[in-house]
Structure 1
Amino acid sequence: MARPVADDVFIVESLAPGALGRVLPARMTVIRLANGDLLLHSPTRYSDALKRQLEGLGRIAHLVAPNSAHWTHMADWQRACPTATTWGVPGLRQRRPVRRSGLHLDFDLGEAAPPDWGDTVDLVMVPGGMGFREAALFHRPSGTLVLTDLVLNLEPAKVPPLMRLIARLFGSTAPGGMPPPYVRAIFKLRRPAATQAAVRLLKLRPERVIFAHGRWFESNGAAELRRSLRWLLDGAGYRGAPSSRAKVDA
């Protein structure tokens, strides 16, 4: 069920298929926009009970696939919420599994947040190689940054023993977890642009950072994010962020 974590920001904890047939913790973030509508970022498993609870918070108006790995439950939400607008990162609609799933994407995300989302959410597109992108959202009123796979911060006690060992070898365990090496490699294929986007995220000075897998950063968000993005930022000459948050440049 949805749990509030800040004004107009909610999270839903779920599970996703993982390595060796196991499951990984997975998280959906729900943002209530200024007009009262809901935006579902990286929708997790659908249930009628969850839909009813969310509808008590606002109209489910936007479904967002923030990268090419986090779309698999969108078709179920789309069928249940036929008036919702679906958004995906560029190139997602061309992927064969997406076409076979029956998911229809209304619009591709651009470099800035769509006007339909109002003026409280900023978007930073983090580019990677082979067409991979991750759309990061920043809810300015609450200082909440919403990522997907740019950070992986698994809690060892909450994953199976073998996966725990692999996660540790990959550097993907709390408190300063990083994505697995193959994900880091994808972003490093476009390292200058990806690093520039990461610096923009830090300059937002988020108070909290939510992502799809593992222990999210409930406080001290900018410093925690800087630690988890060391694989992308080290050597980039980044020394800090402004003392006050401002709307990110489009």
Structure 2
Amino acid sequence: MTDTTYPPLDTLKPVAADLWIVDSGPLSGSLPLPVRMTVVKLSDGTVWLHSPTRFDEGLARTIEAIGPVRHLVAPNIAHWTFLAGWQRRFPEAVTWAAPNLRHRGQVRRKVEAGDLRLDRDLGEQSPEDWASDIRQTVVPGGLRFREVAFFHAPSRSLILTDLVLNLEPHKLPWHLRLPMRLAGATAPDGRAPIYLRLTVRLGGRAASRAAAALVALAPQRVLFAHGAWFERDATPALRRSLRWLLR
């Protein structure tokens, strides 16, 4: 059986100074997606978790050794399902929600039941908490979709979530390799899944301007939630992956 993930799983992996990733998954469903969290140590010594993956106590202790965990980031309306475990472990951390996340029915019910907490909403401007380290851009779409992209300036790393899906064909089950290639979601320059491309295109010129702004950052690397991230030649790879959105 093929393994779509990137072992070792639920383990902190260094990427650059004050920047790590955690590979996890696979997510259940018809497509067993690998999933990734990004960890940043901010200049004030606190730790910022982007798109938290499944909670693991050993991993939590390793991250805690870097510094106090103060920020849990849900960067779009889909990447929030593992927040609760991290909130219980780090109750002092602030949970930041992508625009419109709190309006999703499933999310609203969990918040009302006390099973989930969304403290603050993300916007176009980075909050003071991390403005000196991380710049952010909201990529709009239709159907209330928003994804917040983050640029870690010290390492020149762009942190995305679902705007790029770069699955490696040899890691996919054989029956999914052709469909994923036809969908444009496979390496070396995979795009967002078709349904998401259609949704983001509803954001019109604002979405195109946001994509152009991300490419203009000229990142040295691009991290994202699913698939092989761009470790080198990141800016041209990003431009190819976002060509469906750039005007």
Same fold (TM over 0.5): yes
Match of 2:13 among 3, 7, 32: 3
Match of 2:25 among 2, 12, 15: 15
The answer for the alignment partner of 1:190 in structure 2 is 203
Match of 2:190 among 168, 174, 177: 177
Match of 2:109 among 97, 100, 104: 100
How many angstroms does 1:118 deviate by? 4.2
Cα offsets for 1:11-59 (capped at 9, x unmatched): 0000142542x52110000011001111000000101001001011111
Identity value in percent: 53
Quick one: distance in 2 between partners of 1:220 and 1:168?
21
Does residue 161 (structure 1) correspond to residue 171 (structure 2)? The answer is no
What is the count of residue pairs matched by the alignment?
Answer: 233
Cα offsets for 1:137-162 (capped at 9, x unmatched): 00001000000000000011112222
Q: Spell out the pairing of 1:105-120 with structure 2 (5 A cutoff).
A: 105-120=118-133
TM-score relative to the length of structure 1: 0.90
Quick one: distance in 2 between partners of 1:69 and 1:161?
27
User: Displaced runs of 4+ in structure 1, greater than 4 A?
Assistant: none
Quick one: distance in 2 between partners of 1:149 and 1:162?
22
Does residue 228 (structure 1) correspond to residue 241 (structure 2)? The answer is yes
Aligned partners of 1:191 and 1:232 also within 8 Å: no
Aligned partners of 1:9 and 1:32 also within 8 Å: yes
The answer for the alignment partner of 2:3 in structure 1 is none
The answer for the alignment partner of 1:214 in structure 2 is 227
CA RMSD of aligned residues (A): 1.1
Cα offsets for 1:112-136 (capped at 9, x unmatched): 1111124110001100111100000
Aligned partners of 1:74 and 1:103 also within 8 Å: yes
Aligned partners of 2:166 and 2:187 also within 8 Å: yes
Match of 1:40 among 31, 38, 49: 49
How many angstroms does 1:60 deviate by? 0.8
Unaligned runs of 5+ in 1: 237-250
Aligned partners of 1:120 and 1:139 also within 8 Å: yes
Quick one: distance in 1 between partners of 2:99 and 2:203?
16
Does residue 79 (structure 1) correspond to residue 88 (structure 2)? The answer is yes
